[in-house]
Amino acid sequence: MTTPTSNEPGHPDETSGSPVPADDQTSGAAGLFEEAALEGDIERAPDPQSTTSSRYAPGTAGAALSHPRFRSVFIGGLVSNTGSWMQNVTLAAWTFTLTGSETFVSLVVFAQLGPLLLFTIIGGTLADIFDRRRLLLAVGVQQAVFSLLLALLATQDSPSRIGILACVLGIGVGQAINAPTFSSLLPTLVPRRDMAGAISLQSVNLNASRVIGPAIGGVILGLSGPPAVFVVNALSFSAIFIVVYRLRFPPVPVDPTAVRGLRRLLGGFTVAKADPVVGRSLIVMALFSFFCLPFVTQMPAIADRNLGINPESLAYGALYAAFALGSLGGALSVGTVFAGRSMPTLVRGGLLGFAVAMAAFALLRNAPAAYVVAILVGFAYFTTVTALSTVVQSRISDAQRGRVMALWIMAFGGTVPVGGLVFGPMMELTSVTAVMLVGAVMAVVLVALARLDGPVPRMTRS
């Protein structure tokens, strides 16, 4: 684990070569941010250890990883997210085996994901008020504790159903605070020119853990049972905890437009209203999640009804892995293959690509071909999402980032399960193919809405 020495007493200043006094470090960093804000320059304070970024083209994944603080947080987050996905997959299997009730499993999923829709605005507001480092430490401990309590419940022959829901809800609330805090912190660890690469890797982090976590979790589940998986997840939080505890991050800048009370809580909406591009981006993401992504929650039905694949078979696991692999490639492409390209253009291209791939996936009745098309669907899906996130994050100031990213997480993560609840019954009344084709058509419609070019309003640059 690399610990930056820029905050250690006597470390040479990057520009002058003279030592930075220990008691001037915090004020010096704050001064850099204040000076940047006054001059309209939204570039971050440089990471003195970043001596290799010049070897990479600006905006690439390599350039983002050349910054030690970003690299350390990225690795810690990958370990932690992998543990979370281990637990997510195990939790659904364990609760269904325990109760035999689809309704109870639905309640568990709602307890897990519902807070993303209900509490993320609060988490984003906290991220713009308090020290993001301390917030991450606090929610990391909180989620680890609830995971350990879940492990304890799993050792009992007849665990309390209410206890299970309470533990899962506790973890979900912690994630609702963690998600906007973590999302608003990562881009501040690289200069603005490398933000596209950082956001690309942020999506890579999520999708790599989605592939790795279930694979490791399945092995541990088979060998040692659910309690072991929950304990390993609790331990995985130590990776990000250690990284965040040892590092020092840029202070949260003061938002000159900030107000208090309810108006501050809803500050993300104020930014979205002031900048039409940010507003449209959030609307596109919410509509895309609601209309186009219900298939993610219905992959077992697609496999069973359209492709003749048993949802409990290895073949189904391979189908989902193909989709996740494509998603990983799409997220990574924004910081590599498409680095330096116009993000608004990439969003529109991704939506069109998704429409074509989704229509093909809906009409397919051939299992072998479905694996290839699932990769294409995942690739177009996360190329679109990552490019759209880059558009949003490149237009907002660090002081407003937490509240705006809270809206992003609500649009991206919180809307998907709602769409699944609405379109699930429609799939039973019509067919899974019909709903997937509705998603393909909606993706084409969203191309017209995705007009994401325009000047950045002054208030979002402050």
Amino acid 264: pLDDT: 56
If 0-12 CB within 10 Å is exposed, 13-18 middle and 19+ buried, where does residue 229 land? buried
Domains of the chain: 54-252 (1.20.1250.20), 262-462 (1.20.1250.20)
Whether 38 and 54 have beta carbons less than 8 Å apart is answered as no
**Euclidean distance between CA atoms 130 and 114, whole angstroms:** 24
Q: What is the pTM of this model?
A: 0.68
Nearest to 255 by CA among 32, 37, 29, 28: 37
Amino acid 37: pLDDT: 33
**Euclidean distance between CA atoms 66 and 191, whole angstroms:** 11
In one-letter notation, the amino acid at residue 125 is: T
Over the chain (462 residues), the average pLDDT of each successive run of 10 is: 35 35 34 32 43 66 86 89 84 78 73 77 76 86 94 92 93 86 77 81 75 76 87 92 82 54 62 89 94 81 86 74 86 85 94 97 95 95 91 81 79 76 79 93 95 72 46
Residue 131 sits at φ, ψ, to 5 deg, of: -60, 115
**Length in residues, the chain:** 462
In one-letter notation, the amino acid at residue 399 is: A
DSSP 315-367: HHHHHHHHHHHHHHHHHHHHTTTTTTS-HHHHHHHHHHHHHHHHHHHHH---H
**Euclidean distance between CA atoms 257 and 440, whole angstroms:** 40
Query: First vs last Cα of the chain: how many Å apart?
Result: 34
Amino acid 378: pLDDT: 92
Residue 56 sits at φ, ψ, to 5 deg, of: -115, 150
